[in-house]
């Protein structure tokens, strides 16, 4: 185990808000499912206020005027629904909190219940995927810390909080309690890196092998800085 962790983390929780990105949640979850074969962990899926299934689709009417057009035009036409196990109010104490991204982030980052839950979290580690970093940044917890987010929305996400030392080219960034990752599929790499550091090399190698996944081992290797230039050049700088 890493020296930075007195006791190995056992209680994981993943925030589930309407409009979460499916792979942001399910990539890390499958890594943690693998981990559960080797380490006695629990995983809570934390909805806002009800145990009804949570959809990856953002209800367009719920979006603010400035984000409504983006959501309507850009979010996938297809969606899925995942079942939560807890709500913000019933969630057990967490060692690790995972905050996914998705088209629902602008709404979630304006929801005082979500911000309070994240800001007051006692979790020793908070991991964000994709634009989920925007929720964490909004709380102010990332101020003065190095962090990254996805490349497609880089400008929008980073503009919510200039006090953060945003790193443009990074697959993931680890600074203190916080692990922040780049776009969607990077969630698997940041969680694989977190597992390696926390539970050691043997388990850190076993879990991606179970998934037959080749994790990125270099946190600085981010090909999507260049890949996205051809689509949205204006988003490529702060």
215: exposed, middle or buried (C-beta count within 10 Å: 0-12, 13-18, 19+)? buried
Contact pick of 128, 158, 185, 219 for its own copies (by CB under 8 A): 185
168 and 189 in contact (C-beta within 8 Å)? no
Closer residue to its own copies in complex, CB, 143/209: 209
102 and 149 in contact (C-beta within 8 Å)? no
Q: Is 117 helix (H, G, I), strand (E, B) or coil?
A: helix
Residues 96-125 as x/- pattern, contact with its own copies by CB under 8 A: ------------------------------
- Smallest gap from residue 119 Cβ to its own copies (A): 27
215 and 192 in contact (C-beta within 8 Å)? yes
- Smallest gap from residue 174 Cβ to its own copies (A): 18
Q: Is 81 helix (H, G, I), strand (E, B) or coil?
A: strand
Question: For residues 208-227, which are near its own copies according to CB under 8 A?
Answer: 209-214, 223-224, 227
DSSP 127-176: EE-GGGHHHHHHTTTTTTSEE---STTHHHHHTT-TTSEE-SS-SEEEET
Q: Is 53 in the site for its own copies (CB under 8 A)?
A: yes
Q: How far is CA 30 from the centre of its chain?
A: 14
Q: Is 43 in the site for its own copies (CB under 8 A)?
A: yes
Closer residue to its own copies in complex, CB, 130/136: 130
Beta-carbon contacts of 157 under 8 Å, excluding residues fewer than 6 positions away, are 105, 131, 133, 134, 137, 149, 150
Q: Is 194 in the site for its own copies (CB under 8 A)?
A: no
Q: Is 236 in the site for its own copies (CB under 8 A)?
A: no
Q: Is 89 in the site for its own copies (CB under 8 A)?
A: no
34/165 Cα distance (integer angstroms):
33
- Smallest gap from residue 63 Cβ to its own copies (A): 17
Residues 128-147 as x/- pattern, contact with its own copies by CB under 8 A: --x-----------------
Contact pick of 40, 66, 120, 122 for its own copies (by CB under 8 A): 40
Question: For residues 150-169, which are near its own copies according to CB under 8 A?
Answer: 150-152
Q: Which of 223, 124, 142, 229 has its CA nearest to residue 182?
A: 223
Q: Is 10 in the site for its own copies (CB under 8 A)?
A: no
Binding site for its own copies (CB under 8 A): 21-23, 25-27, 29-30, 32-34, 36-37, 40-43, 45, 53, 56, 74-83, 130, 150-152, 182-186, 188, 206, 209-214, 223-224, 227-228, 231
């Amino acid at each position: 185990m890493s020296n930075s962790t007195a006791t190995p983390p056992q209680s994981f929780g993943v925030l589930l808000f309407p409009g979460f990105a499916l792979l942001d949640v399910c990539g890390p979850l499958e890594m943690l499912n693998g981990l559960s074969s080797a380490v006695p962990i629990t995983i809570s899926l934390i909805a806002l206020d009800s145990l009804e299934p949570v959809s990856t689709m953002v209800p367009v009417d719920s979006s603010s005027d400035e984000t409504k057009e983006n959501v309507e035009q850009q979010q996938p036409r297809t969606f899925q629904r995942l079942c939560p196990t807890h709500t913000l109010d019933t969630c057990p104490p967490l060692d690790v909190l995972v905050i996914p991204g998705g088209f629902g982030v602008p709404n979630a980052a304006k929801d005082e219940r979500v911000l309070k839950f994240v800001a007051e979290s006692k979790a020793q580690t908070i991991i964000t995927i994709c634009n989920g970093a925007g929720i964490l940044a909004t709380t102010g917890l990332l101020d003065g810390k190095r962090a990254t987010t996805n490349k497609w929305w880089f400008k929008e996400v980073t503009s919510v909080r200039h006090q953060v030392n945003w790193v443009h080219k990074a697959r993931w960034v680890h600074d203190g309690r916080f692990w922040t990752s780049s776009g969607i599929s990077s969630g698997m790499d940041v969680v694989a890196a977190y597992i390696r550091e926390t539970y050691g090399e043997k388990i850190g190698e076993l879990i991606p092998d179970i998934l037959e996944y080749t994790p990125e081992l270099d946190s600085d290797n981010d090909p999507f800085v260049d890949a996205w230039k051809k689509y949205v050049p204006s988003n490529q700088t702060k």
